[in-house]
Structure 1
C-alpha cells in the first residue's frame, strides 16, 4: 500500500504520476486495473483519516474506473471495412504527457523567478544635460585647475614619503634583545684597542630618533644586567662605556 500525503501533490494527475513512477509503469502502457486500485485505496485511506479530498481527485477516480471497465470490453471496431484496434488508455496518456510538459514549464518559471528575484536594477536617470552640453564639464578657471593639480601631486608625494619611511622603519626595527647583542659584539671589538667606548660610537651615522632611543634603552638594560659600566661627566654630555670587571659590584 502507498502511503502519501495529499498536500504533497498539486492535483490528481500529480498523485497519479507518483503512483505510476513507484509502480514503474510507462505512461503509454498503464496497467489500469492495478493503478486504479492503488489510487482508490489511497483515497479511502484519506477518508478513514478524516482528510478532506478535493473534488478533482474524485473526478479522476471516476475516470479511472470508467477506463477500467472499457478495458474489459472488446477494443476492435470496423471502419470502412478495416478493423481498427482502439486503446482506451490513449486519451489518459496524452493528458498525462500534456500535464508533465506543463509541470516542467512551471518548474522552470519558478527557478527563473527565484533567480531574478535577487537581481535589482537601478532606475534610469536623465543625463541629456551632460550629453547635450559636454563642454560644461571642462569650464573652470585654468589657474585654479593648476593649483588643484599641484596640490594633488604634493599630497601624493607626501603620502609616498610616509609609506617609504614606514616601510623602512618596519624593515629595520629590531627588538631590545637584538640591539643588545649587536652592541655587545661592537663593544668587544672596540675594547680590544681602547678602554672606553662612547655611546655615539655605537650609533649609525644616519641613526634616527627611534634608533637612538632603542640603543639607549639597550644600554640601560646592559647596565641593569651588570654587563657594562657607564659614566657621564655632565648633563647632556657624552656617555662613556667601559667593560665591567668581575670584582665590581656597583654601577659608576
Structure 2
C-alpha cells in the first residue's frame, strides 16, 4: 500500500556499482551480467540498442515500488473499509480516519502534489467525525437529524458501483488485446470485384447520355399550310350546334402551336366581322364564345 524506495530495500546487498560507472551498467569485472556479443540490451523505437550510452541517467523516482496503487481518495477509503469488513452504512470514523491519515503522511514525504486531494478527503473525514461528537441541540432532538456520514456513504456506493462496472467492461474480450482478427490473403485475380453503382450515379449517367443525344439530333422543319378561312368555318360550325362554348374548348392542344395560333387568329377575325361574341359574366370568370345575335 505504501511507496518504498528500491534503494532502501537493497540495503545489505554486497554488490555495488562503481562510482564512475554509468547508472544501470554492470561492474567492470562482472562478465556474467553482460550481454553476449551482438545481443541487444533493449530496443529503442524498434531499433536494437547494442551499447548503453555514457550519459544514461536514471532518476530516483524510477526506482520506487508501489505495493498498492489507488486511483484517488475514494478508492483508498473504499479499500480501507472493505479490507476490514466494515459496514459501509455504519463506518467507524475514528479507525478509518487514523488509517487514512497514516497513508497520507507517507505520500506527503514523496509527492506533495499527489497528497493534496488526499488531504482534502482527510479534512472531510475529520469534519464528519467532529460533527458526530458534537452534542445535539434541543430542537434537533425532536427532528431526526441527518447522519453526517450519509453524503460520504452515497459517494462511496456510487464509486464502487462504477468501479465494478469498469471491471466487468474490462473483462469483455477486446480486439488486439485478447484476440486478433483473422486475416486471410486471397489472390485478387480469383475474386471478381464488381463496381458498386448507386441509383444516383446511374441517373446522372443517363441524364448525360440524353444531353449528348439532344446536342447531336437534327431539327427538321416541314412546311404546313394552314388556312385562316378554313378555321373560321370550323369555329362557326362548332358554335351552331351549341349556344355557348368555353374559350379553351375551341382549341385543339394536340394540334401543336402552329394550329393554335391560326385558330386564335381565325377567332379574332370572326369577332372583327361581328360574326361571334366573346363574353364574360364578371372579372376573372370563365370566357365564353357564342354566335352574334342577328335580328330576323
Range into which the TM-score falls when normalised by the shorter chain: 0.3 to 0.5
TM-score by length of 2: 0.36
TM-score by length of 1: 0.41
- Structure (1/2) with the larger helix percentage: 1
